[in-house]
Each structure stands twice: as C-alpha cells, then as structure tokens.
C-alpha cells in the first residue's frame, strides 16, 4: 500500500507535468492537492449512477482545480482584491464570521425594494449572486449564477436554485405569476413565530450582493438559531463561482466567460 507521502508526491508530479507550476507561486501545488482530494471524496460519496456523467465530472476536474488554484494564489494582486484570505492547506477561503447571518433583514420592505432595483439594473446571464438558504438546521448563503431572465425583467432563473422575483422572493415551481406570491404568503400565515417558520420550512431568498454577504458565502459561514456554526466546505462549482465575483460593485465582470 502506498503511503500518504507517496500519494502527495504523485499528485505533485501530476500538476507539475501539466505545466501549471513552472516556478510560479510556491503554494499553487498545495491548493491543487487540497481541492483535488476534496472533490474526489465528494464524487466517491455522490449518488451519481450515470457512468457517462461521472466520466465528464472526472475529466473536467483538473481544469477546474487548476483554474481555482491560480485565482487563489494570485487574488491578492488583482486590480480589485477581494476581502478573502486563502487557506492554501484546505483549498478554501476564510474571513472573520459575523455573529449573525447577513441578509436576514430581507423581509423588510425597504430591503426588498433595494433588491428589486439592483437586479432590475444588473441581472445578466452569468452573474454570480448570493442565495440565503434556511432550513431546520440553520442558515447559510450559497453562491449561484443567473442562467435566464424573463422578458419583462421582473424574474430571473438561477442555475441551481430556480426562479426568483427581483425582490428576492423564490417562485414555487408549480405556480406562475401573482398566484405564486399569494401561495407563498398564504403558507407563511400558518406560522406565529419567525423561528418556528424557519425551523419547519426550507426557504431560499435571493439577496442583493454586498461585501459582507458575498464574503460569508465564499467562506461557507453557517449559523443556527442561536450562534455561529463551523463553516461548510464549498463545492467545486461554488469555488469556481467565487473566482468570478466582481468585488468592485458585484456587477458582471468584463469579458465574462461561461461556467
């Protein structure tokens, strides 16, 4: 059986042979190894039964790993550097975690108006956006991206989380138009406590991006209903999206390329 040291050595050789190290950043290989090992574990425990899909995921892994690693070791030198710090050992981002999850004020009408105004102006294909996920275990913010917008510029579709109004409210799949909003409101009326409501429903809210919200999303910060929780590890997809954020104003980056 090969030792862990031999495994790391073999992975170092793999990335070196790809021509990506070449005397550039000394921590590039460390990030690649961390990302590579983490994603292999995810794939090994996934429920993928389609062999063709699994082969595609495996085949694209080196490209995604090296792309994220290049960004992570060079992000401090970007024209508009992010507030994130790279944990090269774990292949993740870190920053100070707020005591409470940012974005919880979304139910305020003023916040929804700001959200609507922002997305009416900036919603474009490929834009990286934050989604507040609340369930029985607590809450966290995920990165997602816009892959479709409605013709009337009032709704948008996210690659993973589905349809949302520009106000940030999720649109149930089985409904359409104003009936979707009324259905959500009717369901909410059955609850008398905000905490009970959050604990018994899986909710998704599209947030207006801010530095605090996007930082929390990139770092995997999590909260329960009393305090902070340990950060979650971002998927490779979210790590890729974290490299596409325009930290200057969160609008679409120039010369944006498809994910």
- Decide if pLDDT at 128 tops 60: yes
- What's the pLDDT at 175? 52
Residue 201 binned pLDDT confidence (cut-offs 50, 70, 90): low
With vertex at residue 215, the alpha carbon angle to CA 212 and CA 219, rounded to the nearest 5 degrees, is 140
Closest among 159, 144, 140, 158 to 238, alpha carbons compared: 144
Confidence of residue 225 (pLDDT cuts 50, 70, 90): confident
Task: Please state, in angstroms and rounded to a whole number, the distance separating the CA atoms of residues 58 and 54.
Answer: 6
Pick 89 or 186 by higher pLDDT: 89
Res 179: pLDDT? 35
Q: Are 31 and 73 in contact (CB under 8 A)?
A: yes
Q: Where are the domains of the chain?
A: 4-94, 104-242
Give the separation between CA 165 and CA 85, rounded to whole angstroms.
Answer: 33
Cβ neighbours of 87 (radius 10 Å): 14
**pTM for this structure?**
0.79
Task: Look at 17-31, 90-104, 129-143 and tell me which has the smallest mean pLDDT.
Answer: 17-31
Q: Report pLDDT for 194.
A: 52
């Amino acid at each position: 059986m090969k030792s862990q040291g031999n495994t790391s050595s073999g992975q170092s050789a793999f990335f070196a042979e790809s021509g990506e190290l070449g005397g550039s950043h000394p921590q590039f290989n460390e990030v690649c190894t961390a990302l590579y090992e983490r994603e292999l574990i995810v794939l090994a425990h996934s429920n993928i039964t389609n062999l063709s899909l699994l082969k595609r995921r495996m085949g694209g892994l080196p490209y995604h790993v090296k792309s994220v690693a290049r960004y992570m070791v060079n992000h401090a030198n970007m024209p508009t550097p992010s507030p994130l710090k790279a944990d090269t050992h774990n292949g993740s981002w870190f920053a100070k975690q707020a005591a409470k999850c940012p974005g919880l004020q979304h139910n305020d009408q003023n916040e929804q108006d700001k959200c609507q105004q922002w997305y009416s102006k900036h919603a474009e294909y490929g834009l990286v956006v934050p989604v507040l996920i609340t369930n029985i275990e607590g809450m966290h913010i995920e990165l997602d991206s816009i892959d479709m917008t409605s013709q009337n510029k009032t709704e948008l579709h996210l690659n993973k989380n589905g349809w949302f109004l520009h106000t940030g409210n999720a649109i149930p799949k089985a409904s359409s138009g104003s009936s979707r909003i009324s259905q959500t409101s009717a369901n909410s009326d059955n609850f008398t406590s905000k905490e009970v409501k959050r604990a018994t429903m899986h909710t998704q809210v599209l947030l207006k991006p801010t530095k605090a919200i996007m930082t929390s999303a990139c770092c995997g910060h999590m909260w329960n209903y009393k305090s902070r929780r340990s950060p979650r590890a971002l998927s490779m997809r979210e790590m890729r999206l974290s490299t596409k954020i325009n930290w200057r104003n969160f609008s679409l980056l120039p010369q944006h390329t498809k994910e």
